[in-house]
Structure 1
Amino acid sequence: MATTPDPVNPEMPFEPSQPPVIEGFKPTAHGQTESFKEKFIRKTRENPMVPLGCLGTTAALCYGLYCFHRGQPHRSQLMMRTRIAAQGFTIVAILVGLAASSVRSRA
Structure 2
Amino acid sequence: MAAAAAPAVSDQPPNAQAPGPVPFDPSRPPVIEGFTPQTRSRDETFKEKFMRKTKENPFVPIGCLGTAGALMYGLRAFHQGKTRQSQMLMRGRIFAQGFTVVAIIFGVFATTLKPKQ
Q: Rg bigger for which structure? A: 2
Q: Deviations over 1:30-70 (max 9, x none)?
A: 55511111111110000000000000000000000000001
The corresponding residue for 2:109 is: 99
Over 6 Å off, 4+ runs: none
Structure 1 or 2: more helix by fraction: 1
1-structure distance, mates of 2:38, 2:75: 40
Residue in 1 aligned with 2:68?
Answer: 58
Q: CA RMSD in A?
A: 2.5
Q: 1:38 to 1:67 in 2, by over 3 A?
A: same
Structure 2 length-normalised TM:
0.72
Determine the structure 2 residue equivalent to 1:75: 85
- 5+ residue gaps in structure 1? 1-8
Runs of 5+ consecutive residues of structure 2 not aligned to the other structure: 1-19
Instruction: Give the structure-1-normalised TM-score.
Output: 0.78
Superposed, which structure 2 residues align to 1:30-49 within 5 Å? 30-31=40-41, 33-49=43-59
The alignment of Structure 1 onto Structure 2 pairs a total of residues equal to 98
User: What CA distance in whole angstroms lies between the structure 1 residues aligned with 2:104 and 2:81?
Assistant: 35
Distance 1:82 1:53 in 2: 11
SS at match of 1:26: coil
